[in-house]
Amino acid sequence: MTDPVLSVRDLKVEFDTYGGTVQAVRGINFDVEAGKTLAIVGESGCGKSVTVQSIMGLIPMPPGRITSGTAELNGVDIIGRKTINGQDIRGGQIGMIFQDPMTSLNPTMNIGNQIAETLVVHRGFTRKQAFARAIELLSLTKIPEAHKRAKQYPFEFSGGMLQRAMIAMAIACEPKVLIADEPTTALDVTIQAQILDLLQDLQNENGMSIVLITHDLGVVARMADHVLVMYAGQMVEQGPVDPIFYQSGHPYTVGLRAAMPSNTPTGNTVLTPIEGSPPDLFQPPQGCGYCARCPHAMKICLDQAPLQHMLTPSHSARCWLHHAENTQQVSKINGNRRTAS
């Protein structure tokens, strides 16, 4: 394994509310390799977006605060910093595509000037140079008649074209890491496929790393090299994409797979929801956060938080079923498709 471009360790984020303190992210660790895609998956509210927003310095403080952890970009901790070697981190070295482009773009500025502003601020371009480069970026993201579209406003773009414009803005400064937060959520299936193809093409051309935030396992299977599964603010499983799908090490990952529709004749025709609700993060449970919803829960799951267990050198899960005294039950996780380790 090569040295990671982005390495996050023990990241914890809290928010103060009228009802108390929400422990939104509780000790997340992950690495992103150069030219690879890490997908972070989980239910809404599990802490996916808060994790990447804290790295980008987008957490409002107060009410939010990062209570511990590091996020190293090429070996330099960027938590709480705005620049590295005189270059802006946010927008310059890490780009971000937001979930809803219509609310992320300025409705009073044309698209070309919004992209150009990024280059003026972060790279010192003149307005004329920046606008010319904005047209090139719109062409690169496959927007037809880019010279004409650059002079139009967000309301004149379709949803798919707005997302392409957001991608053009995010890659304008050739960032080392691109964070894509639910980039295809509001798009129809055909446009989703086009956006994912575009991201892969840009990654192949530029060699940038991608952190993909999504709850769509179909997108994960198509895009990801490595997967981090989050539940209630914590990592419950992480590993290469194939073991995550075919040798899942945590009951929650299996539950997510069972809830995913299949387009194959032999696939599941009945979707199986995960019963129950995530735990209250005002007072996180003492043991495993998934215990109340887990079909394999044991007494130890209620009393003690599971430690990370390495299933292979690159695949790990936080589940008591994998510890020595419980290995006879591991085969149950995947319906006897997995053998005890």
Greatest distance between any 2 Cα atoms in the chain: 68
Domain boundary among 229, 262, 280: 229
Q: Is 215 in contact with 41 (CB distance < 8 Å)?
A: yes
Rounded to whole angstroms, how far apart are CA atoms 101 and 211?
18
In a domain, 246, yes or no: no
| Domain membership flag for residue 28 | yes
Indicate if 147 and 14 belong to the same structural domain. yes
- Kindly state whether residues 20 and 150 are assigned to the same domain: yes
* Domain presence at residue 245: no
Per residue in 9-28, pLDDT (tens digit) is 999 999 999 989 999 999 99
Residue 127 and residue 202 in one domain: yes
Containing H/E element for 112?
Answer: helix 111-123
- The pLDDT of 53-70, averaged and rounded, is 90
Compute the average pLDDT of residues 86-92. 77
Task: Give pLDDT, residue 264.
Answer: 65
| In contact, 4 and 31? CB cutoff 8 Å | yes
Query: DSSP letters along 15-78, please?
Result: EEETTEEEEEEEEEEEEE-TT-EEEEE-STTSSHHHHHHHHHT-S-TTTEEEEEEEEEETTEE-
- Which residue range(s) make up the domain with 151? 6-229
CATH code where residue 43 lies: 3.40.50.300
Q: Is position 1 within any domain? A: no
Which is nearest to 173 in space by CA: 217, 145, 206?
Answer: 206
| Domain contains 133 | yes
pLDDT of the residue at 319: 93
Q: Are residues 123 and 175 in the same domain?
A: yes
* Same domain for 202 and 112: yes
Any domain includes 265: yes
- The verdict on 224 and 137 lying in the same domain is yes
* pTM of structure: 0.87
**pLDDT tens for residues 41-59?**
998 889 999 999 999 888 8
Q: Over the stretch 265-299, which tens digit does the pLDDT of each residue have?
A: 665 567 788 888 999 999 999 899 999 999 998 88
Confirm whether 221 is domain-assigned.
Answer: yes
- What is the residue-averaged pLDDT of the chain? 87
Number of domains comprising the chain? 2
Query: What is residue 142's predicted lDDT score, i.e. its pLDDT?
Result: 87
